[in-house]
Amino acid sequence: MTASALPRIFIDADACPVKDEVYRVAERYGLKVFVVSNGWINTRRDPWIEQVVVEAGPDIADDWIAERATKGDVVITSDIPLADRCLQAGAQALKSNGQPFTPDSIGSALAGRMVGEHLRSMGLQTSGPPPFGPKDRSNFLQSLDRAVVIAKRALA
């Protein structure tokens, strides 16, 4: 498999707690990683890691990722609309807790997000995501490894 036929990993990095785990998996498989954010963040300096700092603004980082992610790529994000766009392009999308977004689950995730936004606009307080813990980190590593294997098969 040539380097151009390898999966790429895109990290929606502004609030991503699993960047180090992504780097470990990517290094093991020899994959390119794009760390995309609205501002500078401390990133490992390796030739296979590219830090991309986009202009500040709503959805600028999401747009950058969605315009580039294609079949065989893996996107790490908690942003449901971005995950939907990436799935439509043929990429896989994973939350930082390891839960994959799938074509079967994305519709209900988008609907739940809309309901939450509506409730908050009415002044109701909604709960955020549960605290991130060691089990989430372990689940993420397993899910990312599985996603990379699937991505490599898709490009073979």
Q: How far is residue 22 from each of residues 27, 55, 103, 127, measured CA to CA in Å?
A: 8, 24, 23, 27
pLDDT given for residue 144 in this prediction: 97
Q: What is the mean pLDDT of each run of 10 residues along the chain (156 residues)?
A: 76 92 96 95 94 90 96 94 94 94 74 59 70 91 96 91
Task: Kindly tell me the burial class for residue 63, based on how many C-beta atoms sit within 10 Å of its own C-beta (0-12, 13-18, 19 or more).
Answer: middle
pLDDT given for residue 148 in this prediction: 97
Structure tokens at 46: 């390796």
Q: What is the DSSP letter of 52?
A: E
Residues 142, 143, 145, 146: what is their CA dihedral angle, to the nearest 10 degrees? 120
The fold for domain 3-155 equals Rossmann fold (3.40.50)
Global pTM reads 0.84
Contact between 151 and 1 under an 8 Å Cβ cutoff? The reply is no
Q: Where are the domains of the chain?
A: 3-155
pLDDT given for residue 2 in this prediction: 47
